[in-house]
Amino acid sequence: MNDVTAKNLALSHMWVAFSAFILACFMGEYQVLERSGLFDSLSSPSVYFASVSTHGVLMAFVLTTFFIMGFGYYTASHSLKVPVWNPKLAWFGFGLALTGVVMAAVPLLSGLASVLYTFYPPLQAHSAFYIGVTLLVVGSWIWSATMVVMFSQWKKANPGQTVPLVMFATTANALLWLWTSAGVAVEVLFQLIPWSLGWMDTIDIGLSRTLFAWTLHPIVYFWLIPAYTAFYVFVPKQAGSYLFSEEAARMALIVLVVFSLPIGMHHLYMDPEQAKGWKLLHGLGTFIVALPTLVTGFTVIASLEIAGRLRGGKGLFGWIGSLPWGNPMVLSVILSLVMLIFGGFGGIVNASYAMNAMIHNTAWVPGHFHLIFAGTTIIMYFAIAYYLWPVLVKKPLYSKSLALVQLWTWFIGMSVMTTPWHVLGLLGQPRRISSVQYNNLLTLSWEPYELLMILGGLVLLGSACLFFYLLVKTQFSANTESFEGEVEYAEPLHEVKDLPEYLNDFKLWNKVIAVLMLISFGVPILQFFFMDTYGSSPWGY
Ligand code: HAS
Ligand code: CU
């Protein structure tokens, strides 16, 4: 199936995603320069916080959401061999989301929404920012609904058949996003928008933070699932191998979706508004959600090992050297997994209730998420883009060797930038500060690390520019050579037979999620309506 609409939707969404990305990379470099305190002329807290808020929103919400939507439209249509359901609606969703981005960008760039990407009150932004974010989310709901409809229609038309793994993963992500975004949607609609418009004098910040925590953990898996999808459906094939176990892949995706939802309060360990027992419950769930990542690591490495051995690799580790390191998808997965070891280790430290006190609100946290999000996750977005672009524009990739340079430099830059942040966090440097106003032995000990992070940032900026250049060149160069290749999905090592319905559908899992959410967020949210604190009802009194 080669639906032109699906291709155009994919390209349009991904261009928005990567344009946001490149802009945000320049801001990132400015931020490390400003934050280092080495350049007096750059020092401006107001510009810094406008920049860091825009950088966060562009990377975490615009790059991700648009990339995921574009990837979903294309793979859904391609794997199910059907056109995109209701293309007019899909384009409307695209327009709505883009309008939201532009609407939010105006206050962000003019310093009227310097509230960081988490927009925690009492920081307050101009109402256009919250309304813009809402439009982006509503636009993405149209995408989610489209994926669910395409999944259900295909199942109805093909009773008893196994849904292609790539579509299973995409639908899992669409459902995850519907559940995930509900928390922040309630916060924005019932608290932040009325408050920013002056309709309410006060809002309950404990409630806002709890609703945001509902969203904050699962959203990171919403970003991550396309990377895992590529691990499962593209990597084994590109490496010349088979997917070690499709059943394990499906189970991992399900556990990831189900358990990423009821655990968001690990972001609130140090907050006062929730009781310790609830936090501990969410802490235990957090350890459960690390398991599907371990299963994913195992399955992907097993698939790679088969590839290496098929290519003649011998011995315990000899297969690693004989992998096709020159294939961008394979190189990306190797680098992604290496970053996952350290990023995941950091996550486990964060999740450990007692150790969280040591690193919470320090530079360690941006170290963790740049490594695991901007590193592990985004390097796979690059790999997917390099893989899809030739198919979408029907021209060969402009330069494979430059793509490899780009992937290596991204890995090196990310390692050089995030290692100092982890150390700085342990040395007590707070996150979210624009400058250090005092000098003592402790703050002086931070300086060498500041230099390293500038260097890492520069390498990353160069790498990002190279990535953007390669996409532009692939699509727009006067190359007359045409590319006829197709996207190919990995075959499982053992044929999938008699798949139980719970590994081929989400009805059961939606019910499980509903129960888990009721247990883990029911009382923690309801308590605000009974507690006798000023402004404890969301409409204020
Ligand atoms: Fe996180 C904070 C816990 C994963 C993103 N995280 C954040 C924030 C973001 C973020 C953006 O519990 C900041 C939010 C803010 O602004 O306040 N995180 C975890 C845990 C995991 C985790 C337990 N995070 C992610 C992913 C993200 C992400 C994925 C984005 C995509 N995180 C936390 C906590 C906080 C937090 C607390 C709050 C901190 C605070 O106090 O504010 C887990 O999912 C991680 C599981 C991963 C592993 C690693 C397994 C390793 C494998 C690799 C094997 C590879 C090999 C190499 C052997 C356990 C599978 C093979 C080599 C070859 C050559 C083949
Ligand atoms: Cu989290």
Closest C-alpha residue for ligand 1 atom 22: 347
- How far is Cα 2 from Cα 25, in angstroms, rounded to an integer? 33
Closest C-alpha residue for ligand 1 atom 7: 369
Per DSSP, what are the bridge partners of residue 430? Answer: 362
Bond prior to 122 in cis (omega within 30° of 0): yes
The rounded Å distance from CA 451 to ligand 2 centre is 29
The rounded Å distance from CA 332 to ligand 1 centre is 18
Q: Is 292 left (phi over 0), alpha (psi -120 to 50) or beta?
A: alpha
Helix axes 507-530, 246-260, angle to 10 degrees: 10
The rounded Å distance from CA 129 to ligand 1 centre is 28
Which ligand 1 atom lies nearest to the CA of residue 296? Answer: 60
User: Whats the size of the chain, residue-wise?
Assistant: 541
Query: What was the pLDDT predicted at 532?
Result: 65
Residue 219: strand, helix, or coil: helix
- Closest-lying ligand to the alpha carbon of 213? 2
Query: What was the pLDDT predicted at 443?
Result: 87
The rounded Å distance from CA 290 to ligand 1 centre is 8
Show which residues are catalytic: 217, 221, 368-370, 431-432
Contact 278, 265 (CB under 8 A): yes
Cα Rg of the chain (Å, integer) = 23
Angle 294-341-402 from CA coordinates, rounded to 5°: 115
The set of protein residues with a Cβ atom below 6 angstroms from ligand 1 is 118, 216, 220, 223-224, 266-267, 286, 289-290, 293-294, 297, 301, 304, 320, 334, 337-338, 340-341, 344, 347-348, 350-351, 356, 360, 365, 368-369, 372-373, 377
CB atoms inside a 10 Å sphere around CB 489: 16
For ligand 1, pick from 55, 115, 117, 267 the residue to mutate: most ligand atoms within 8 Å of CB: 267
For ligand 1, pick from 369, 380, 407, 421 the residue to mutate: most ligand atoms within 8 Å of CB: 369
The rounded Å distance from CA 398 to ligand 1 centre is 33
- How far is Cα 284 from Cα 280, in angstroms, rounded to an integer? 6
Rounded (10°) CA dihedral 12, 14, 20, 22: -120
CB-based contacts of 358, cutoff 8 Å, min separation 6:
426
* AA identity, residue 349: V
Residue 243: strand, helix, or coil: strand
Angle 199-200-205 from CA coordinates, rounded to 5°: 140
Rounded (10°) CA dihedral 379, 265, 210, 259: 70
Residue 85: strand, helix, or coil: coil
Rounded (10°) CA dihedral 66, 70, 73, 79: -130
Residue among 154, 180, 163 at smallest CA distance from 68:
180
Please report, in angstroms and rounded to a whole number, the separation of the first and last CA atoms in the chain: 57
CB-hemisphere CA count at 13 Å for 278?
26
State the pTM of this model.
0.96
pLDDT in tens, the chain (541 residues): 558 999 999 999 999 999 999 999 999 999 999 988 888 788 899 999 999 999 999 999 999 999 999 999 999 999 999 999 999 999 999 999 999 999 999 999 999 999 999 999 999 999 999 999 999 999 999 999 999 999 999 999 999 999 999 999 999 999 999 999 999 999 999 999 999 999 999 899 999 999 999 999 999 999 999 999 999 999 999 999 999 999 999 999 999 999 999 999 999 999 999 999 999 999 999 999 999 999 999 999 999 999 999 999 999 999 999 999 999 999 999 999 999 999 999 999 999 999 999 999 999 999 999 999 999 999 999 999 999 999 999 999 999 999 999 999 999 999 999 999 999 999 999 999 988 777 888 888 888 898 899 999 999 999 999 999 999 999 998 877 889 889 999 999 999 888 999 999 999 999 999 999 999 999 999 998 887 665 545 544 4
Q: Which residues surround ligand 2, an ion (CB under 5 A)?
A: 217
Query: What was the pLDDT predicted at 525?
Result: 95
Residue 328 CA from chain centroid, whole number: 20
- Closest-lying ligand to the alpha carbon of 264? 2
* AA identity, residue 248: A
